[in-house]
Chains A and B, each alone.
Chain A
């Protein structure tokens, strides 16, 4: 097994330089694109996520190694395994991410990344502390079952994460059409972070936007429509611990108060689902929006 370095260690200085550069860029154009308190919350979430990852990483890696022992193919460390592993891991990421939005248990962890009402490079580092509890990794380690070594998976996964950093910006509008067709770009990812009804729960891609095109979750950014970022029910606070745990607390409260036959639904159904229909999911919000748009057109 080759000795692999952690690509993120080398990327962090670049992250800092790029965030500072973006701050200088917005200073003249739109200083409201950054809020110091929001940035501090995002970066604290990022640091906490690194610590949480370090604490749970060994366990996840051991599980991946166990799966690797039962592998289908002996792929080894041949050169073509690296790009193939990257693509397959990106596909696995797509499904993990999609589930992270469509199943409340997974959303409770992933919501941390979306709870900022800003969209800038610091938002990219706003990562979860509770990914291990949410078990989101179960989507990505099956690639090891095919015969890709967990160390290779970890390595390409780190590059995927690095790729996703720079797309969290409003400084870039769009790339040439062929790039926008294949790659996840700032434009596509702005759509993903938007709470505008037309954009809710779209563009789950990590690196390649083609997964969204294939699986029917792609939406193009519409020129001239102001994007609102964040979550449907904005937190309204910069409280770090509330930002981390609010959805977990919400699940616990709902499960406690729900009738027995609905308790489990508050865990596995879509965020916003309620047994009495008193709340809105992204689907119901989009349906209402389409209805009101149709009514206006008529």
Chain B
């Protein structure tokens, strides 16, 4: 039993060392969406076959909202150095505050995302309010 506990303590020490070492090496990075083309690619990776006809990228490039020809809205946001997204439906709440649009996903762990969309914010807020699905 003592040996097992020592092994467990050793494992925990090792994982902490590795995680700290990864931080020390500055692994990871700072990813941003820099173009519509990139947003389109991320959308397709997030939701296979999603072909956006309208794209709004957050000013800081950490998230984007995309709409396809069927009126589906897709929210993508940064997750570490990767991207994750959710298709939005009429149950998702959104709040508009001047240039900032906060989009909820209904998932506690995914959370809500606040996008600085500039003058486009109200247009996208209206689009989200009129979702039919």
The number of residue pairs between A and B whose CB atoms lie closer than 8 Å in the complex comes to 114
B8 at the binding interface (Cβ < 8 Å): yes
How far in angstroms is the closest Cβ of chain A from B130? 20
Closest to A242 in B: B109
Interface centre among A16, A54, A239 (most CB of B within 10 A): A16
Interface centre among B45, B80, B81 (most CB of A within 10 A): B80
- Interface contact B18-A20, CB-CB below 8 Å: yes
Q: Mark out the residues of chain B between 90 and 124 whose CB falls within 8 Å of any chain A CB in the assembled complex.
A: 107, 109-111
Closest 10 CB pairs between A and B? A236-B84, A43-B15, A117-B82, A40-B19, A36-B22, A34-B27, A234-B84, A35-B80, A237-B109, A32-B81
B23 at the binding interface (Cβ < 8 Å): yes
- Interface contact B18-A43, CB-CB below 8 Å: yes
Q: Give the docked Cα–Cα distance between A278 and B101 (Å).
A: 28
Q: Mark out the residues of chain B between 48 and 104 whose CB falls within 8 Å of any chain A CB in the assembled complex.
A: 48-49, 77, 79-86
Contact A24/B82 with A16-B18, A237-B110 known, Cβ cut-off 8 Å: no
Contact A27/B15 with A117-B79, A237-B109 known, Cβ cut-off 8 Å: no
A288 at the binding interface (Cβ < 8 Å): yes
For the residues of A in contact with B, the DSSP-based class is helix
Complex contacts, A134 vs chain B, CB 8 Å: none
Contact of B8 (CB < 8 Å), options: A43, A51, A292: A51
- Interface contact A9-B15, CB-CB below 8 Å: no
A63 at the binding interface (Cβ < 8 Å): no
Q: Give the docked Cα–Cα distance between A235 and B109 (Å).
A: 8
How far in angstroms is the closest Cβ of chain B from A252? 16
Closest to A278 in B: B133
- Interface contact A289-B48, CB-CB below 8 Å: yes
B11 at the binding interface (Cβ < 8 Å): yes
Closest to B12 in A: A47
B14 at the binding interface (Cβ < 8 Å): yes
Complex contacts, B14 vs chain A, CB 8 Å: 12, 16, 43
- Interface contact A35-B45, CB-CB below 8 Å: no
Complex contacts, B110 vs chain A, CB 8 Å: 235-237
Interface centre among A32, A50, A232 (most CB of B within 10 A): A32
Q: Give the docked Cα–Cα distance between A23 and B32 (Å).
A: 23
Contact of B46 (CB < 8 Å), options: A40, A43, A51, A234: A234
- Interface contact A122-B85, CB-CB below 8 Å: no
Contact A236/B8 with A23-B21, A292-B49 known, Cβ cut-off 8 Å: no
B131 at the binding interface (Cβ < 8 Å): no
- Interface contact A34-B28, CB-CB below 8 Å: yes
B37 at the binding interface (Cβ < 8 Å): no
Complex contacts, A50 vs chain B, CB 8 Å: 8, 11
Closest to A238 in B: B80
Complex contacts, B81 vs chain A, CB 8 Å: 32, 35
Contact A118/B82 with A31-B26, A239-B109 known, Cβ cut-off 8 Å: yes
Complex contacts, B45 vs chain A, CB 8 Å: 195, 228
Complex contacts, A230 vs chain B, CB 8 Å: 82
Contact with B along A1-44 (1 / 0, CB 8 A): 00000000100100010011001101100011111111110011
